[in-house]
Amino acid sequence: MRFVKNLYMGESVEKKKALIKWKLNHGSGMLSSYVIALTKCGDDKLEIYHNAVLNQKYYRKYPPCVVGIAGSFEEAALLSWKIMSDAGAENGNYDLWTYFGLDKEAK
């Protein structure tokens, strides 16, 4: 699993950041954790996954680039809105790859 340097965390999971990252890397189950990731196609879009989806073989072979973690789907939706608004305020556009300092070709 790849995590960006300035990872966004929801309020309900803020204090458990290290534990949740460890569990995501090791495929350990959690009832309510959602991951916000950049799309693989290089578009400036975000995807929300339940953590159980990331245990599939495809995501083990091609791990997503995680930019946020939330405790519920609603919190993940609000957090993704915050990510987009922060990127727009800083860059003047919504280029998430540049905002997080990533290379689009290195997906």
pLDDT > 90: what percent of the chain? 42
Q: What is the pLDDT of residue 83?
A: 94
Q: What is the pLDDT of residue 105?
A: 59
Please write the tens of the pLDDT for every residue from 19-44: 988 988 888 878 889 999 998 776 77
Closest CA to 38 of 93, 87, 107, 90: 107
Q: Which residue ranges in the chain fall short of pLDDT 50?
A: none
Closest CA to 75 of 17, 33, 38, 25: 33
Are 99 and 39 spatial neighbours (Cβ–Cβ below 8 Å)?
A: no
Q: Where are the beta strands (DSSP E) in 63-102?
A: 65-70
Give the DSSP H or E segment for 25. Answer: helix 17-26
* Both structure tokens of 15: 């204090």
Which single residue is written with the structure tokens 């995680």? Answer: 66
φ/ψ (deg, to 5) at 99: -60, -40
